[in-house]
């Protein structure tokens, strides 16, 4: 491991969430105004994630008062207090620049479902297993007529 890799490893944050394009996030960034420092919160849609390691950055887009606002953040920057993922969006592109021309309901992103079974074959297998379990439970719960 080189000296540069060691320095980068020391500066990596450990509590960063996995970000993907389409996610709605709330970014708490430290902003310096004169002599004061305050935390500014920006909630919006991740339209781009690039880089890797210490250089990983993401762009958040939000429409405020009818004006689109985009801001790019370094994920491991000391100026970022925290990043909260509000919801995961399901998109098929890595760059969501097409949302710049969309307004209102056209700019909606479908929500990604987590923890699904994966494939149709697995779903079919689980359905079959449930049916078998129900039929076994029904046969074992049936009263026996020989007891009389």
One pLDDT digit (tens) per residue for the chain, 148 residues: 789 888 888 888 888 899 999 999 999 999 999 999 999 999 999 999 999 888 999 999 999 898 999 999 999 999 999 999 999 999 999 999 999 999 889 988 999 887 655 566 676 667 777 767 776 666 666 565 555 5
pLDDT number for residue 50: 95
Which residue matches tokens 């307004």?
103
pLDDT score, position 60: 97
Quick one: pLDDT at residue 11? 87
Contact 47, 97 (CB under 8 A): yes
Cα 18 from chain centroid (whole Å): 6
Q: Please check whether residue 22 is in contact with residue 46, taking contact to mean a CB–CB distance below 8 angstroms.
A: yes
User: What does the pLDDT read at residue 95?
Assistant: 96
Distance CA 45, CA 42 (A): 10
Which sequence spans correspond to the domains of the chain? Answer: 3-135
Class of domain 3-135: mainly beta
Residues 144 and 148: their CA atoms lie apart, in Å, by: 9
The gap from C-alpha 138 to its chain's centroid, in whole angstroms, comes to 42
pLDDT at site 15: 87
């Amino acid at each position: 491991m080189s000296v540069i890799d060691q320095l980068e490893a020391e500066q990596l944050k450990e509590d960063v969430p996995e970000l993907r394009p389409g996610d709605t996030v709330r970014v708490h960034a430290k902003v310096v105004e004169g002599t004061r420092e305050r935390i500014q919160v920006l909630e919006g849609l991740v339209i781009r994630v690039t880089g890797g390691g210490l250089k990983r950055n993401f762009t958040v887009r939000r429409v405020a008062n009818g004006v689109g606002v985009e801001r790019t953040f370094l994920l491991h920057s000391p100026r970022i207090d925290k990043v909260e993922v509000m919801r995961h969006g399901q998109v098929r592109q890595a760059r969501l620049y097409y949302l710049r021309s969309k307004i209102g309901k056209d700019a909606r992103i479908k929500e990604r479902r987590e923890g699904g079974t994966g494939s149709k074959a697995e779903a079919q297998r689980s359905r079959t297993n449930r049916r078998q379990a129900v039929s076994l439970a029904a046969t074992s719960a049936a009263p026996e007529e020989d007891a009389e």
